[in-house]
Structure 1
Amino acid sequence: MSPGDEHDYRGKDQGSHPDDPYSTLGGTRQTRTRLPDGDAGHPHARRPARNSRSLVTITGVVVLLIAAIAFANRGSGSDDAAAPGAKSPGTAGSATAATGTKPVQGKNGTIASGFAHDEQGAQSAAANYAVALGSAEMFVAESRRSIIEATHDPAVAPGLQDSLDTAYSPTFYKNVGLNDDGSTPTGLTFVSRTVPVGTKAVKMETDAATVEVWCTGLVGLSGQGSTKPVTETWFTISQELKWVGGDWKISSSSQTEGPTPVNGDNRASTADEMAAAVDAYGGFTYAR
């Protein structure tokens, strides 16, 4: 979200786009995949056209996650090849149903912890970490540091903390509509939420896993006079997880746009209704 040279999750230089304040953060840019206009169920359906403001705003929620994981991915190996002996669960998703195994044993601050040392635990960890890294608390220095410590491998967390402290600058805050210190302007409510729709284990080893989390999200400023209204976005996060210190932790991640459904006919809520909903409804602890 701040201008400068950026890198994708694998450290490849993507170029600079200083004119797009919502698409970069601390010199990083998300990797986005453009999906076809139609799908198997709706071969002739096309996404509604987005105006320029919507296109800029809609990238906001994904960028929150990029900021938290871009540094950790520098120098990581390719995600394409599975390690010898790795279990590949396949492409078919399984139902989210009770297994009899308690997936979460405790909490690290406000984030679930103590996940089971198996595929179910890895999926639950990935979903919960996606929520934390896409939250409004990432915009506050103290809570941001707590989130990174709770979700990332200690081997990459310190460097990531330094990178994010630089990225969340007064210029960056201004670009997203906040005050120079990251606080929300009087009379407005800052919204940033990530909501997992489903998870899939792509690779599973004893102490390592690759889990994809399909998400929808909300981002923007709600309230009378907001010039950056709350919008939704759809994206998929791929997390490389390691079993560290008795729990699953993120070692690297990547992210793509979609899959995105066709917009429905729901009436957009007023700014006051949206602000009231954000205050009234809390989030969830996710389990697989």
Structure 2
Amino acid sequence: MSLGQDGPPTTRTRLPEGQPGPGGTAGRRAAPRSGRSLVSVVGVIVLLIAAIAFANRGGDSDSSSSGSGSGGSKGTAQSQPTSATGEKPVSGSAEGIATGFAQTSQGAQSAAANYAVALGGDGMLDTTRRHAIVAAIHDPAVVAGLQAKLDKAYSASLFTSLGLNEDGSTPSGFTFVSRTIPVGTKTTAHSGATATVEVWCTGLIGLAGEGSTKPVSQSWLTITEKLKWVDGDWKIESSSQKQGPAPVSGDDLAASADEIANAVEGFGGFTYAR
């Protein structure tokens, strides 16, 4: 409110951006954001799940929205809090991946989150490392077939499309970034020996370095993992993915290539527990 020179007090109202004023005049509009390149979305999907989805092709393509285990009950629509449960986190690990999850819905969610991280990491680019990761987190009954299909999916053409060398190595002077960060999990089906878990994730992928044509970018996706209790732990029977849900992009200033490379090399990941 302000006082006129010889008149009554006047009030100024700031309208939201783009909303018409009393006279029908629109307020200031924010400049439209340029659309993100499809590379940011396709990149993460290709590296994180496309090969996995290809290998699991033939299953239920809608498993990401619902699912049920043998004899299990379908999940309810009630919300699940994102706060910590207070349950003791796992203490074991295999191939750098947490193991020893509880045979509960919470344990299945913890397993699914950690497995999503492993599948979305740069370790999947190396054949030997990929074989070890897949064997560590999958049902032994599906490992052999999955390995063969993944070896075909992780091809020279895939690597070059990501800006890498044909053997999957990173070009000199660059740092390859592939990191998946779970935002939340939920169980959509659970029985004593089976569970279906959705993991909402954000992912980073790209080449950090001066002159990179594949700069590190972010995308959002939801991974669905069908889990089976095998030899005292949860293992993946099959997995699938879908894009989103993605929030509105913020106005954060993009970091330089060196800052991104240093952050990736300097900040370690986490073991996730529901």
Please say whether Structure 1 and Structure 2 have the same fold, judged by a TM-score greater than 0.5.
yes
* TM-score, normalization by structure 1: 0.78
State the structure with more CA Rg: 2
Distance 1:106 1:177 in 2: 35
Q: Does 1:50 align with 2:40?
A: no
Q: 2:72 touches 2:194 (CA, 8 Å); kept in 1? A: no
Partner of residue 42, structure 2: 59
Partner of residue 23, structure 1: none
Distance 1:275 1:122 in 2: 33
Distance 2:69 2:195 in 1: 11
Partner of residue 263, structure 1: 249
Equivalences for 1:90-169 in 2 at 5 Å? 90-169=76-155
Q: Deviations over 1:14-53 (max 9, x none)?
A: xxxxxxxxxxxxxxxxxxxxxxxxxxxxxxxxx95525xx
1:186 deviation in Å? 0.6
Amino acid at match of 1:63: V
Residues 58 and 85 of structure 1: is their aligned pair in 2 closer, same or farther, counting only changes over 3 Å? closer
* TM-score, normalization by structure 2: 0.82
Equivalences for 1:193-232 in 2 at 5 Å? 193-232=179-218
Distance 1:209 1:167 in 2: 27
> Cα RMSD over matched residues?
2.1
Percent of aligned pairs sharing the same letter: 58
Distance 1:127 1:81 in 2: 17
Runs of 5+ consecutive residues of structure 1 not aligned to the other structure: 1-46
Residues 86 and 49 of structure 1: is their aligned pair in 2 closer, same or farther, counting only changes over 3 Å? farther
Amino acid at match of 1:114: G
Q: 1:73 touches 1:251 (CA, 8 Å); kept in 2? A: no
Residues 58 and 75 of structure 1: is their aligned pair in 2 closer, same or farther, counting only changes over 3 Å? closer
Match of 1:185 among 171, 184, 190: 171
Distance 1:258 1:48 in 2: 19
* DSSP-derived class of the 2:74 partner: coil
Distance 2:158 2:208 in 1: 19
Tell me how many residue pairs correspond in the alignment: 241
Q: 1:72 touches 1:156 (CA, 8 Å); kept in 2? A: no
1:133 deviation in Å? 0.2
Higher mean displacement: 60-69 or 236-245: 60-69
Residues 269 and 83 of structure 1: is their aligned pair in 2 closer, same or farther, counting only changes over 3 Å? closer
Q: 1:107 touches 1:113 (CA, 8 Å); kept in 2? A: yes
